[in-house]
Amino acid sequence: RTELALKEIMSSGGAEDDIPQAERKTVTDFCYLLDKSKQLFNGLRDLPQYGQKQWQSYFGRTFDVYTKLWKFQQQHRQVLDNRYGLKRWQIGEIASKIGQLYYHYYLRTSETSYLNEAFSFYSAIRQRSYYSQVNKEDRPELVVKKLRYYARFIVVCLLLNKMDVVKDLVKELSDEIEDYTHRFNTEDQVEWNLVLQEVAAFIEADPVMVLNDDNTIVITSNRLSETGAPLLEQGMIVGQLALADALIIGNCNNQVKFSELTIDMFRMLQALEREPMNLASQMNKPGMQASSTSESTEKPARRENPHKYLLYKPTFSQLYTFLAASFKELPANSVLLIYLSATGVFPSGRSDSEGPYDFGGVLTNSNRDIINGDAIHKRNQSYKEMHCLHPGDLYPFTRKPLFIIVDSSNSVAYKNFTNLFGQPLVCLLSPTAYPKALQDQSQRGSLFTLFLNNPLMAFLFVSGLSSMRRGLWEKCQDYLRKINRDIAQLLTHSRSIDQSFLQFFGDEFLRLLLTRFIFCSATMRMHKIFRETRNYPESYPQLPRDETVENPHLQKHILELASILDVRNVFLENTLDDY
C-alpha cells in the first residue's frame, strides 16, 4: 500500500525528483502507521472475549499506534493534504476507530470514564464535519461507514444518558439513511430502518417522564453516586466480600433492544457502575493527550466498578464458557454476580424426583429461531430441556460466593437451590406473573429489573403515574434514601436472617440491590392489585417476612411515600390483617 501511495504521489505531483525527501518520508511514515493501525485493529476481533488479562498488552499496542497516527496527521496535515491527498473522511475514520477502541476498552474493563473518551472522539467527528463530503462521492461503502459511525455514537450516548444528543443523532441518521437509500437503491434499507425503530423504542422505554418547569425532560442517571447506597453504620456487622465480576445475560423474546443490549441488560449494567469520573474536564476537546494524563493524575481513589460480561442471547456453551472464565479469575474474598433476564423454560410432564434439573429454568439460545411464547416444550417428555440454564447448572460455581438475580416467568425454579459448599449464596427472584393491568409493559423491560435499577420510577409506574415534576421527584428520592437506610437497619438487626445476606451486605452495589429488592417486595405486597403469590418476588434463602418485606415500620414508610405522591388509595392501609 505504501508503494502504491508513493506512486500516486509521483504521478500527481510531477516528477519524483520535485518532491523533497522529507515530504516523501512523511508520506511513507504515515502509510506505515496507517497500515499498522488497521492491522492491529482488525486483530482485536481475534482476541478471546473472556479472560481479563490476555488482551491488555495487545490493546496497549493498538492504542500506542493510534496515538502516534493521530498526532502524526495533526502535525503533518499540510504535507499529507498536498502529497497524499488526505481526505477529511479519512481523518474521520481514524477518529472513529479511536472512539471504537475506547468503547471496547470500556466493555473490557467496565470503567465508565472510557465512555467519555469515546464520546469526545465521536463528538469531534460530528463537530468538525469529517464525514460531510462522503455524500458527494459515488461510493456506497463510504456512506455505510458514516451510518455505522452514527449507530456507534448513539450506543455511547445511551450509555452516558445523553438523551438530548441521542435524539439529534437519530434525526441526522434518519436523514442520512433516506439520502443513502434514495441515491444507491441498496438492499440494506430495511436493516437501517430497523436500527432507527430499535433506538426509538429504546429511548421511549422508561414508563415515567420527569419534567422541568418548562416541560423539558429531566435526564436521570441510575449509576451509583456518592449518596446512592445506604452507609454502613456503627454496630452493623457485615461481611467484607466485594463484588468483582458480573455476567449480565439477556435472552427475552420481544424485548426492546439496541445493538446487543436489551433494555433489562442496559438497566442492570448501570446498577453495577459508578457515575463516570471527571466528566466535565474530559468533554472539552478530543485528543489522545487528555486520556493519558487524566489516567495517571486523576486515578479514582475509590474502588473500581466490578468487571462485567454482557451476553445477548448466548448459547449454553457460550454462557458456560464465560461463567467458567469469571469463576477462574475471581479474586479472593470476592463475589460473582449472575443476572439472568430470560424467557422461562418449564418442565413438561411430571417428574417423580425434585432435583435441580426437574423444575426447568431459563432459556439459552439454540442458534436457530425459537418459537414465540414463554413456555417452550420438549419433543420427548422423558428428557430435560437442553437449551436451558437449569439451577443445577450453577451448582459447580457455588464453590465461591455467588449472588444470582433471575428475572423470568420461571424464576421460581431457582428457589429449589441447595447450598452444597457452605459459601455465601443468595438468589433474588422476580415475580413469575404480573397483574393483567401491567402485562402489556413487558416489551419495555421487566418491572422487577426496573425496581432494582430505578425504584422510584417503578413505584410511580405501579401507582399509575406517567409523569412528574422535578421538585417532587427530588423530594421523593430523598425520602427513598431514608427508606433505604431503614431497610439496611432492618436487615442488619434481624435475628433470624440467613448469614449469606449479611456477608454480601458489605459491598455497596450488593447492598443497594438488596435494599431495593426488599423495597420492591414490600411495595408489591401492599399494592391492591398484586394479590396472588406469583405476583411477589421471592428469594433463596427466604427472608424473614415480619422483619423485612412485611415489617410494619417499612409499610408505614411506603404509605408515607404514597401520600407524598397522592396515591395512597392504590395501597392497602392495614396489610397485616390480610395475612
Per-residue model confidence as pLDDT tens digits over 146-185: 999 999 999 999 999 999 999 999 999 999 999 888 888 7
Pair 158, 259 in one domain: no
Residue 472 has pLDDT above 60, yes or no: yes
Locate cell 420510577: which residue? Answer: 457
Q: Vertex 39, ends 34 and 44: CA angle to 5°?
A: 125
Residue 297 has pLDDT above 70, yes or no: no
Task: Tell me the average pLDDT across 421-442.
Answer: 89
Q: What is the per-residue pLDDT for 353?
A: 72
Residue 434 has pLDDT above 50, yes or no: yes
28/95 Cα distance (integer angstroms): 21
Q: What is the per-residue pLDDT for 382?
A: 65
How many other C-beta atoms are found inside a 10 Å radius of the C-beta of residue 374?
A: 17
Q: What is the per-residue pLDDT for 336?
A: 98
Q: Which domain holds residue 554?
A: 248-277+304-366+383-570
Q: Is residue 299 part of a domain?
A: no
Pair 156, 265 in one domain: no
Q: Which residues of 187-204 are buried (b: 16+ CB within 10 A; e: fewer)?
A: ebeeebeebbebbebbbe
Q: What is the per-residue pLDDT for 8?
A: 54
Q: Provide, rounded to the nearest whole percent, the portion of the chain with pLDDT above 70.
A: 87
Q: Is residue 282 part of a domain?
A: no
Pair 171, 253 in one domain: no
Residue 479 has pLDDT above 90, yes or no: yes
| pLDDT, tens digit, 9 for 90 and up, residues 143-153 | 999 999 999 99
Residue 33 has pLDDT above 70, yes or no: yes
| pLDDT, tens digit, 9 for 90 and up, residues 254-269 | 899 998 899 999 999 9
Pair 141, 258 in one domain: no
Among positive and negative, which fits the CA dihedral 507, 311, 268, 441?
Answer: negative
Q: What is the per-residue pLDDT for 328?
A: 93
Pair 163, 264 in one domain: no
Split into its structural domains, the chain has a count of: 2
Tell whether pTM > 0.75: yes
- Orientation angle between helical segments 508-526 and 263-271, nearest 10 degrees: 120
Q: Is residue 224 part of a domain?
A: no
Last residue of a domain, one of 156, 183, 208: 208
Last residue of a domain, one of 208, 240, 257: 208
How many residues are given for the chain?
579
Pair 454, 511 in one domain: yes
Which CATH number goes with the domain that contains 421? 3.40.50
Pair 516, 392 in one domain: yes
Pair 564, 423 in one domain: yes
| pLDDT, tens digit, 9 for 90 and up, residues 219-238 | 888 888 877 778 877 777 78
Q: Is residue 377 part of a domain?
A: no
Pair 199, 330 in one domain: no
Q: Is residue 72 part of a domain?
A: yes
Q: 229-233 — which CB contacts under 8 Å span 24+ positions?
A: 229/484, 229/508, 229/509, 229/511, 229/512, 229/515, 230/481, 230/484, 230/485, 230/487, 230/488, 230/511, 230/512, 230/515, 231/485, 232/488, 232/505, 232/506, 232/511, 233/488, 233/489
Pair 260, 125 in one domain: no
CA 372 to chain centre: 25
Q: Is residue 374 part of a domain?
A: no
Pair 254, 197 in one domain: no
- Give, in order, the Cα–Cα distances in Å from 7 to each of 38, 67, 78, 376: 21, 27, 19, 63
Pair 142, 263 in one domain: no
Residue 579 has pLDDT above 60, yes or no: no
| pLDDT, tens digit, 9 for 90 and up, residues 329-388 | 999 999 999 999 999 999 876 666 778 888 889 999 886 545 444 444 444 556 788 889
Q: What is the per-residue pLDDT for 288?
A: 44
Q: Which residues of 165-182 are buried (b: 16+ CB within 10 A; e: fewer)?
A: bbbebbeebbebbeebbe
> 288 vs 79, which has greater pLDDT?
79
| pLDDT, tens digit, 9 for 90 and up, residues 303-324 | 689 999 999 999 999 999 999 9
Q: What is the per-residue pLDDT for 380?
A: 52
Q: Is the bond preceding residue 431 a cis peptide, omega within 30 degrees?
A: no
Q: Is residue 272 part of a domain?
A: yes
Last residue of a domain, one of 208, 234, 259: 208
